[in-house]
Amino acid sequence: MTILKNVRPMGAPATDLYIKDGRFAAGGDGEVIDCGGRILIPGLVEAHTHLDKSLLGLPWYRNEVGPRLIDKITNEREVKVSLGLDPQVQSERQAIQSMAYGTTQIRSHVDVDTHHGLAGIEGVMATREKLKGYVDIEIVAFPQSSMMPRPGTVELMDEALSMGADIVGGIDPCGIERDPKGHLDAVFRLAEKHGKPIDIHLHERDAMGGFSMEEIIARTIAHGMQGKVTISHAFCLGAPDRDYVAGLQEQLAENRIHIATTAPASAPVPRVKELAALGILTCGGNDGIRDTWGPYGNGDMLERAMFIGLRNNLRRDDEVELALDICTYGGAKVMETEGYGLDIGCQADCVLVEGETLAEAVALHAPRKLVMKGGMVVARDGKAVIEAP
């Protein structure tokens, strides 16, 4: 039994919380942790990242990659081995760093292609095993290099899902794949065969993105997959033609399709207030951190909440709280996490944050005083209790 003394759950007045057998309990005796009146939030949820790609801990990578999406994809596939990028080591480094920032669960897209086969999936699965009890990792089998133009990829995706990948990934059915029907039919067939949800990267903008989105919606209906499909990025929802976007959003809401946003500064983004008003579940993610795509990022989901706020012009306290909600409860709902939250009976996955209010906690995103996973301390004062390799 552990007692969190003098703590403010979600900014409420100070109280004591009790943890027994890894879950919040009604009361009891035990080891006391003085929380100094700090705010407690449930564990941050990293709902869109790429654990297999990060260059954390490796020498600085001088990025001279071309401007197109396909330049970044091709370059990465070709330099992975020469850079000494071991998916197990790199995923462990990033996951431990995320833990220190208060993330207790991660959804990671992991590359599956005919060049590297299932090395990424095997590596991240090994990390998931190694970090069991510290941070939960969900794996999306992700055909980063496309499927139809590269024969053998669909078979590898199938194998990845049999091996233990949790979710079927996909990518720009028109822009990268250039075969929307072939790509989306393959994605939904794999989901049906393995009984697993879907999370598709959709960078396509404006009408092209809208077309792909409607194709995804049509298949969600045809396969009865309402509530099981996430569209990541969904830049087309940031398009200037708001009447057109409203029509798309209505269909997303109707079919309970979720949105994952990373709120990049470099692209139009879904407007999170509109999504919330329509009841569309939205989660947040850091996307790639310090990789061959770009040098930025650190894995901090509280900072990502700030970026979501900045990108969406969220200023009022209730609006900043929405950004935080996306990076906590939103992610947990999309990932269907059992027992998420601070209520009695919930898993004691939680973070002590600095600040007088939730909005200040987001704006400051100061080092986390304490992070717990299932009632066990996994990080203190911004430092994880285990060493990265």
Nearer Cβ to Zn ion (287/291)? 287
- DSSP secondary structure, 152-203, as one string: THHHHHHHHHHHT--EEEEE-TTTTTS-HHHHHHHHHHHHHHHT--EEEE--
| Minimal distance, residue 109 CB to Zn ion, in Å | 5
Neighbouring residues of 200: CB distance < 8 A, sequence distance ≥ 6: 169, 170, 171, 173, 187, 216, 229, 230, 231, 232
Binding segment toward Zn ion, per CB under 5 A, in 81-89, 163-171, 221-229, 287-295:
287-295
Of 99, 103, 38, nearest in space to 361 by CA: 38
Binding segment toward Zn ion, per CB under 5 A, in 144-152, 203-211, 282-290, 301-309:
282-290
> Cα–Cα distance between 49 and 46 in angstroms, integer?
7
Find residue 17's DSSP bridge partners: 4
Nearer Cβ to Zn ion (2/108)? 108
| Minimal distance, residue 238 CB to Zn ion, in Å | 16
Binding segment toward Zn ion, per CB under 5 A, in 186-194, 248-256, 280-288, 379-387:
280-288
Residue 321 engages Zn ion in binding (rule: CB under 5 A): no
Q: Which of 138, 287, 291, 300 binds Zn ion (CB under 5 A)?
A: 287
Chain centre distance of CA 70: 22
Nearer Cβ to Zn ion (76/92)? 76
> Cα–Cα distance between 326 and 262 in angstroms, integer?
11
CA angle 9, 262, 138 (to 5 degrees): 75
Nearer Cβ to Zn ion (201/369)? 201
Residues 241-260 that bind Zn ion (CB under 5 A): none
> Cα–Cα distance between 351 and 342 in angstroms, integer?
10
| Minimal distance, residue 287 CB to Zn ion, in Å | 5
Binding segment toward Zn ion, per CB under 5 A, in 26-34, 111-119, 286-294, 373-381:
286-294
Residues 107-166 that bind Zn ion (CB under 5 A): none
Token pair 């920032």 is found at 101
Binding segment toward Zn ion, per CB under 5 A, in 21-29, 156-164, 284-292, 311-319:
284-292
Helix (H) or strand (E) segment spanning residue 39: strand 39-42
Residue number with the shortest CB distance to Zn ion? Answer: 287
| Minimal distance, residue 281 CB to Zn ion, in Å | 18
Tokens linked to 173 = 């059915």
- Binding region for Zn ion (CB under 5 A): 287
